[in-house]
Structure 1
Amino acid sequence: MPRLPLLAFAALLLAAIFSPASAQAQAQFPSNGEHLIISGGVALRKWENLRAPGTQHDRWWGNFIRPARVRIQQIQKQNPNALITWMVYRNAYTMRSAEDQRDLIALVESVRDAYRVRLVWFNSGDQVISHINNGQNRSRTKIVSFEYYGHSNKYCFMFDYSSAIYGASKGYLHQRDLSKISSRAFAKGAFVKSWGCHTGESMSGEWRRVTGLPMIGAIGKTDYTDPVNVSLSPGSRWTN
């Protein structure tokens, strides 16, 4: 295999280190502040079973719970005393509990108890905005990281996609509502990333316009086949 010239190798190394795809692992957070993790809801199997094989979502109920748990572990490894708030869309897990005949609410709360984080159940985009602006004594405790795991399109986070309605969402946070967010809620240089599909195609730009912070998002789709290591689908890329 031919060797790269030293300068070319260095350039490739720097590109890998500072690319949006590796930003989560490389992010350095301020020591004092709140880490805010959002888990959207999963679809109901009765709707997803109407789709053709290979196009179905959320065969496992924990698609958006497991990666949040992994992220909590990563943050706590970096800072054992980190203040972490985990917001989870309750309606979808209540409905999926009935379908799966398992108490998924209790399973989510067991993650809270195991890692001693603050769990906030929510049922609307306005509740997410309210926590961003007013939670954790916001005038003194700024948000140092914000990450979203769930369904999304280019314009919004879809918290209950194919849960209440087949192929649609009743609970969401649309980019037109981002103007309600106070940029003062975030620490300077806060890390922001959406792990949903298509966010980088529109919503990331609106987020930056409103808050002054870049939001890393996907152009194309993301893949939760391995929820411990959420990745990009073939042909997709990260942008901010």
Structure 2
Amino acid sequence: MYQWEKYKTYPHDHWWANFIRAARLRTEQLRAELGPDAKITWLVYRQGYEDRAKQEHQDLISLIDTVRDKFNLNLVWFNPGHEVINYLNNGQPRDQVKIIGFEYFGHSNRACFMFDYSNNIDSACKSWLHDSDLTKINRRAFARHAYVKSWGCHTGEEMSKKWYAATATHMIGAIGKTQFMMEELPILVSEGGKWVN
């Protein structure tokens, strides 16, 4: 939110659609590869976009709905982080519909996906998925060799290992920071940064 970022030496998060745009770019790639009818689900933290809509003076929920419609997505809104685990475990009959890919676009640190970072409190978070919660994910929800990647910062420093221990699927994560771009997928920006799994 601008109310927090405007005071920082190195502000980020200038554009409300940082994560939506990156996910859309990746969805375009997947649609080209998998076809128009492959089931692609987006899990989107609703409260963050409702709060940001007030600042932007736009109906961001409706704008995100247009992406859903254009790309034939299954859009699932969530609020508390445990709803992500609930969807992974029970959003489809997992004995029949396995997860073949899971990619995260958002704020993160070495141990946590932070769904509302700096949304209500500067540099803090009220909705997250911590690596200590990953053991609640049913490892049978994922297909063998599922593709899992976190595009957020620092998750390759700890969370990738915990993800593998909990789910038996490798998660590619960043050592260092990532930068979300306008016309390409997020890039590594830290000196010595790299993708690991």
Taking structure 1 as the reference length, what is the TM-score of the superposition?
0.79
1:210 positional shift: 0.8
RMSD: 0.9
**Aligned amino acid, residue 3 of structure 2:** K
**Aligned amino acid, residue 239 of structure 1:** V
Post-superposition Cα deviations, 1:108-138, rounded to whole Å, max 9, x if no partner, equal 0010011111100101210000000011222
Map of 1:4-153 to 2, 5 A cutoff?
44-52=1-9, 55-80=10-35, 81-153=37-109
1:82 positional shift: 1.1
Post-superposition Cα deviations, 1:199-228, rounded to whole Å, max 9, x if no partner, equal 001000000011111100001000114453
Q: 8 Å contact 2:26–2:185 — kept in the other structure?
A: no
Could you tell me which residue of structure 2 aligns to residue 195 of structure 1?
A: 151
Distance 2:147 2:181 in 1: 25
Distance 1:234 1:154 in 2: 14
Q: 8 Å contact 2:114–2:128 — kept in the other structure?
A: yes
Q: 8 Å contact 2:40–2:74 — kept in the other structure?
A: yes
Tell me the number of residue pairs that the alignment of Structure 1 and Structure 2 aligns: 195
The runs of 4+ residues in structure 1 deviating greater than 6 Å are none
Question: Larger Cα Rg: Structure 1 or Structure 2?
Answer: 1
**Aligned amino acid, residue 26 of structure 2:** R
**Aligned amino acid, residue 150 of structure 2:** S
5+ long unaligned stretches in structure 2: none
Could you tell me which residue of structure 2 aligns to residue 175 of structure 1?
A: 131
Post-superposition Cα deviations, 1:47-98, rounded to whole Å, max 9, x if no partner, equal 111212xx11110110000111111111111111211001110111000000
Secondary structure at 1:86's aligned position in 2? strand
Distance 2:11 2:181 in 1: 11
Q: 8 Å contact 1:196–1:221 — kept in the other structure?
A: yes
1:177 positional shift: 0.3
Could you tell me which residue of structure 2 aligns to residue 162 of structure 1?
A: 118
Q: 8 Å contact 2:21–2:182 — kept in the other structure?
A: no
Could you tell me which residue of structure 2 aligns to residue 4 of structure 1?
A: none
**Aligned amino acid, residue 110 of structure 2:** K
Secondary structure at 2:32's aligned position in 1? helix
Taking every aligned residue pair, what percent have the same amino acid on both sides?
50
**Aligned amino acid, residue 126 of structure 2:** K
Distance 2:190 2:107 in 1: 18
Distance 1:202 1:155 in 2: 6
